[in-house]
A and B are shown apart, each in its own frame.
Chain A
Amino acid sequence: MRKLSLAVASALAACVLSASLPAFAADTSPDATMTIGIGITMNTLDPAQQNTTTVRNVLDYEVQTLVTFNERGELQPLLATAWEWSDSGDALTLQLREGVKFHDGTPFDAEAAKFSLGRLIDDRVSTPNGQSYQVIRNMEVIDPHTIRLDLEYPTADLLLALGDTVSAMMSPASVDAKGNSYENLQNPVGTGPYKLVRHMRGSQLVFERYEDYWGDKPYYKNVVLKIIPESNALEAGLRSGQLDLIMNPPVSDIAALQAQPNIAIIKAPSDRSVYLSFVTNKPPFDSREVRQALNYAVDKQAIIKNVMFDAVNLSDSPFAPSVSGYCKTGVYEYDPDKARQMLKDAGAEGIQVKLGTPRGRYTQDYEATQAIASYLRQVGVQVDIGTADWATYTADIFSVDRNPYNLFLLGWAPPAMDAMFQMTYFSKIGWPPNGVNGTFYDNPEMEAIFEKAQREIDDAKRNDMYCQIQKMIFEDAPWMFLWSQNLILAHNKNIEGISYQPNEKFVTIYARPKD
C-alpha cells in the first residue's frame, strides 16, 4: 500500500513539474508558439456561414480576402493587387496576386475567386452576413489573374465588403476534402500565413506556419488559440504566463493589469457604436425635442470615466470614426437644466421610460444603463429598467409591435466598416421585420440622400453626402449617442508587433519576441 501511494505521489509530482512553465519569457525556440486566449467557441469555420467577429478573427490566420484594412481602417490590397471601377460604376475589375497557392496546392486564380464569391450569392449556401454581395449580378474571368464583377447598381461599399472574412478566398478543390461539401466548408482551405492543423471543439485551435506562404513569413511556427469563456480565467492565464495575449479582460481590471511589469495593454478603437435606441414611432419619443432633451440629460463623460473605466470613446457622430464616410457632428453636452426645460416645453415632464439592456453583451452594458437611468431620473423622467437573456432581448427589440421597451441599448459594428451597413440601423431598409432598426426612424430627406450616396462611386462626393446624413441624424437624435467601444488587448510585454484592425480584430501575424 505504501509503495502504491509513493508511486501515485511521484506520478502526480511528475505531472505537476512537467506542466510548470517558465512564465513571460517569450518563446524564442525555432518552433516557437504563441498562445492566445479567446472568449467564445467557434460555431462554424466556414467563412461564408459564420456571423461572429471572433470567428472571423480566428479564420484570418487560415484564409485571406481580396482586400484588407490597416489600423486606421483604410483599404489595403491583399489577394487583389489593384482594382478599377468602370465609368458607370457598375463593374469592378480586380487584378489578382500571382504566385499564390492554397494550402492544398491549388493555385489561387480568377476561377477560385469566382468560386468563392459565387458561394455568397448562391441560395444553397446559408450566408447570414452575405447581404453586401447580393449586388453582384455576374462574374467574368477575363484572364487567369483578372476578374470583373458586374453589379446590379453602382456601389462603392462592395469593395469594402471584399475585405470582410465572409468573402475569403477558398480553394475550389477543398469541396472534396473530408468533412466538406459545397454548401458547408467546415475545414476551410485558404491562402493564409498559417494553416489550421487541429480543432478541438470548445477547447482550442492549433495553427501551423504555412511554409509556402506568398508573403513575409511569420516568426511564430505555431499559434494556439485557447477558448476560455470565463473572463477571470482568461486573465489568470495571462497573469500566469500561460497565455501571451487575451482580449477584453474585465474593464475594472485594466488598470491593475497595466501595473503588472510583464503585461502591456493595447486599446484598439473599434467601429462598434453603443447607443440607446429611441422608439420614434410612438409617444413620447416621436418628439425630436424629447429625444434631444434626454441626450442632454446624461453625463456621458462621467459614466465613461467612472463606470466604463475609460475603456470606451465618447461618440461624436452617429458613425464610429473608422466607419467609411465618418464625419464629426458633435456631442450633446451634459446640461440637465436645458434637458428639464426642453421636456417642460415639449409637455413631456415625468414621462415613463421602459429602458431595456442586455447583460454582458457589451462592455459594462447593464452597469452603464443603471447610471444612465439615474441621470434620467434627475430630470424627472420615470425609468424602469428591463433586461433579458440575449435571445429573448433580441426577439423583443427586433419585433414590429411587441417591443416592451421604448428605449433600449444596442451595439452596432459594420464588419467591413462600410457606411451602407451602418446605415441599415438608420434607414427604413432596416425596419423590422426585414432588419433590426427598432427605432423606426423616418426621415425622407435623409433617405433620398442615402439612396444617392449608396450609388456614388466618387469617394469625395459620397463622403460629403454621408456627412450631411450624419448631421441630420445627429439633429434628429433617434439614438442617445453614447460611445464607441475599444477592443482591449492585454499581452505579454516581451512580445512586439501585435496589431489590430478597427473592426474588433487583433492581428498577430508579425508578432515576435522583443530582442
Chain B
Amino acid sequence: MGAFINYCVRRLLAAIVTLLGVVAVLIFTFQVLPGDPARVIAGPMASAEAVAKIRDEMGLDRSAVTQYVEYVGKVLRGDLGTSPRTRVPVLDEIAERLPYTVALAVLGTLLGVILGVPLGVVAAVRKDRWPDTLGSIVGVAGISLPVFWTGILLIVLFAVTWKILPAGGADSPASYVLPSLTLGIFSMAIISRMTRSTMIEKLDEDYVRTVRGKGVREITATRHALRNAAIPILTVVSLQFGTLLGGAVLTEIIFSWPGIGRLLIESIQARDFPMVQGIVLIFAAMFIVVNFVTDILYTVVDPRVRLY
C-alpha cells in the first residue's frame, strides 16, 4: 500500500509539471496568434475606448512571463478568470457544459466497445471468411466516413424523413441517440480493427494451441486469447475516450450539442483567451486522469503488469 501511495504521489507531481507546461505553451501560443483579441471581442463597430478597456482587462499589454505567473497564481487559488466575452467566470461556464461532453464521450465509447469488441473477435475467429470481410467493410467504412457525413445522414434519416428523433439539441433523452450513435460508429470501427488484429496474433500463440490441443471448445480458446488481447484494446479504448472527452467538435456542431468542444472553437475564434486557457487546462487534467485510471486497469486485467 505504501508503494501505491508513493506511486500516486509521483504521478501527481508529474501531472503538475505537465499542466504547468500546458499553460506555458498556451500563453506562448497566444503571443504569436494573429488577430487583436480585444478588437474581436469588442466587435468591428466598437469604439477605440471600448477596445482599449478590454485590452487592459485581459492584461494583453503585460509580458508573457507576467501573464504566466499571474495565471498560475490564480489557478492555484481555484480561479480560472472571467471571460471578457461572456462576462461569466470561466469555471462556471465550463461546469455547465462539461457534463454534456462527458455524457457523449461515455455513451460513444460504450457503444464503440459493445459493438466493436464482438465484431473484432468474430472477425479474428472467422479470419478470411465472410464475417471477417463484413467486419473489415464496416470497420474501414466507420473510420473513413467523416463524422459530419454520418451525422448529417442520420439527421436526414431519423429526423427529416422518419421524424422519430430530434435533429439536434440536448433537451430530451431521445436527443442523445443520434450523436452517441455517430461517435459510437467511429469508435466501434477503431476498436473492432484493433481487437481483430490483436486477437489474430493471440489466437496464433502457443498457449492457445495447447488449450485447443486439450480439446476444449473454440469459445474457451477465444476467451483465453481475449484476456491476453485486453491490454492493447484497453489502450485504444482509453485513447478514444480521452479524445472524446476533449469534445467531439464536429459532432457537437452538427447536433447543436452544448458541449465543451463547441465552446472551445467559439472561444478560439473569438480570441477569448481566458476561456481557451481554462478549457485546455481542464482537458489536459482529464487526459491525465484517464491515463492514470487506464494504467491501474492494466494491473487489473493483467496481474503481470507492475506499475510500482
Report which of B96, B156, B172 forms a contact with A201, defined as CB distance below 8 A.
B96
Report which of A229, A389, A394, A434 forms a contact with B48, defined as CB distance below 8 A.
A434
Residues of B within 8 A of A230 (CB): 253-254, 256
Cα A16 to Cα B176 in complex, Å, equals 11
Cα A202 to Cα B266 in complex, Å, equals 10
Report which of B39, B40, B174 forms a contact with A19, defined as CB distance below 8 A.
B174
Residues of A within 8 A of B11 (CB): none
A86 at the interface (CB under 8 A from B): no
B284 at the interface (CB under 8 A from A): no
A241 at the interface (CB under 8 A from B): yes
Cα A202 to Cα B160 in complex, Å, equals 23
Q: Is the CB of B43 within 8 A of A52?
A: yes
Q: Is the CB of A389 within 8 A of B167?
A: no
A264 at the interface (CB under 8 A from B): no
**B43-60: which residues lie under 8 A (CB-CB) from chain A?**
43-48, 50-51, 53-54, 57
A242 at the interface (CB under 8 A from B): yes
A18 at the interface (CB under 8 A from B): yes
Report which of A20, A44, A200, A240 forms a contact with B86, defined as CB distance below 8 A.
A44
Q: Is the CB of B169 within 8 A of A226?
A: yes
Q: Is the CB of A226 within 8 A of B50?
A: no
B175 at the interface (CB under 8 A from A): yes
**B146-175: which residues lie under 8 A (CB-CB) from chain A?**
152, 155-156, 159-160, 163-175
Nearest A residue to B259 by beta-carbon distance? A202
**A113-132: which residues lie under 8 A (CB-CB) from chain B?**
126-131
**A435-478: which residues lie under 8 A (CB-CB) from chain B?**
435-436
Q: Is the CB of A200 within 8 A of B174?
A: no
Cα A433 to Cα B47 in complex, Å, equals 10
Cα A202 to Cα B263 in complex, Å, equals 8
Distance (whole angstroms) from the CB of B50 to the closest CB of chain A = 5
Q: Is the CB of A233 within 8 A of B171?
A: no
A232 at the interface (CB under 8 A from B): yes
Q: Is the CB of B256 within 8 A of A49?
A: no
With A15-B173, A233-B254: A240-B159 Cβ-Cβ less than 8 Å: yes
Distance (whole angstroms) from the CB of B150 to the closest CB of chain A = 13
Distance (whole angstroms) from the CB of A419 to the closest CB of chain B = 15
Nearest B residue to A21 by beta-carbon distance? B163
B214 at the interface (CB under 8 A from A): no
With A21-B163, A202-B97, A242-B159: A128-B50 Cβ-Cβ less than 8 Å: yes
With A131-B47, A240-B160, A434-B48: A388-B34 Cβ-Cβ less than 8 Å: yes
With A128-B42, A202-B262: A239-B160 Cβ-Cβ less than 8 Å: yes
Cα A200 to Cα B99 in complex, Å, equals 13
Distance (whole angstroms) from the CB of B34 to the closest CB of chain A = 4
Cα A343 to Cα B20 in complex, Å, equals 59
Report which of A16, A226, A389 forms a contact with B177, defined as CB distance below 8 A.
A16
Residues of B within 8 A of A410 (CB): 44
A392 at the interface (CB under 8 A from B): yes
A346 at the interface (CB under 8 A from B): no
Residues of A within 8 A of B167 (CB): 233, 236-237, 240, 242
Q: Is the CB of A200 within 8 A of B258?
A: yes
* Number of chain A residues close to chain B: CB under 8 A: 59
Cα A436 to Cα B35 in complex, Å, equals 14
Q: Is the CB of B271 within 8 A of A391?
A: yes
Nearest A residue to B36 by beta-carbon distance? A395
Cα A396 to Cα B35 in complex, Å, equals 7
Determine which residue in A23, A236, A391, A424 has the highest number of CB atoms from chain B within 10 A of its CB, and name it. Answer: A391
* Number of chain B residues close to chain A: CB under 8 A: 56
Cα A415 to Cα B44 in complex, Å, equals 12
Residues of A within 8 A of B152 (CB): 232-233, 236
**A100-145: which residues lie under 8 A (CB-CB) from chain B?**
126-131
Residues of B within 8 A of A396 (CB): 34
Residues of B within 8 A of A51 (CB): 42-43, 45-46
Residues of A within 8 A of B169 (CB): 203-204, 226, 228
Cα A20 to Cα B263 in complex, Å, equals 29
Cα A204 to Cα B165 in complex, Å, equals 18
Distance (whole angstroms) from the CB of B271 to the closest CB of chain A = 5
Q: Is the CB of B258 within 8 A of A229?
A: no
Residues of B within 8 A of A237 (CB): 159, 167-168
B255 at the interface (CB under 8 A from A): yes
Residues of A within 8 A of B97 (CB): 201-202
Interface string of B205-233 (1 = CB under 8 A from A): 00000000000000000000000000000
A390 at the interface (CB under 8 A from B): yes
Residues of A within 8 A of B304 (CB): none
Determine which residue in B37, B96, B168 has the highest number of CB atoms from chain A within 10 A of its CB, and name it. Answer: B168
**A8-60: which residues lie under 8 A (CB-CB) from chain B?**
12, 15-21, 23, 41, 43-44, 46, 49, 51-52
A184 at the interface (CB under 8 A from B): yes
A227 at the interface (CB under 8 A from B): yes
Residues of A within 8 A of B200 (CB): none
Interface string of A190-231 (1 = CB under 8 A from B): 000000000011111000000000000000000000111110
B295 at the interface (CB under 8 A from A): no
Q: Is the CB of A392 within 8 A of B34?
A: yes
A186 at the interface (CB under 8 A from B): yes
Residues of B within 8 A of A375 (CB): none
Cα A41 to Cα B267 in complex, Å, equals 11
Residues of A within 8 A of B54 (CB): 126, 128
B188 at the interface (CB under 8 A from A): no
Q: Is the CB of A19 within 8 A of B175?
A: yes
Residues of B within 8 A of A241 (CB): 163
Residues of A within 8 A of B164 (CB): 16-17, 19-20
Interface string of B67-109 (1 = CB under 8 A from A): 0000000000000000001111000010011000000000000
Residues of A within 8 A of B254 (CB): 230, 232-233
Residues of B within 8 A of A390 (CB): 40, 269
9 closest A-B pairs by beta carbon, nearest first, are A391-B35, A19-B174, A202-B258, A203-B258, A128-B46, A51-B43, A392-B34, A228-B256, A128-B42
8 A-B pairs in the complex with CB atoms less than 8 angstroms apart: A41-B263, A128-B47, A130-B50, A200-B96, A200-B171, A203-B256, A230-B254, A391-B40
Q: A21-B163, A126-B50, A410-B44 are in contact. List 16 more A-B contacts (CB 8 A).
A: A16-B164, A20-B164, A43-B85, A49-B87, A52-B43, A126-B54, A128-B43, A128-B54, A200-B171, A227-B256, A242-B167, A391-B34, A391-B40, A391-B271, A394-B35, A435-B48
Task: Report which A residues bind B (CB closer than 8 A).
Answer: 12, 15-21, 23, 41, 43-44, 46, 49, 51-52, 126-131, 184, 186, 200-204, 226-230, 232-233, 236-237, 239-242, 388-392, 394-396, 398, 410, 415, 421, 424, 433-436
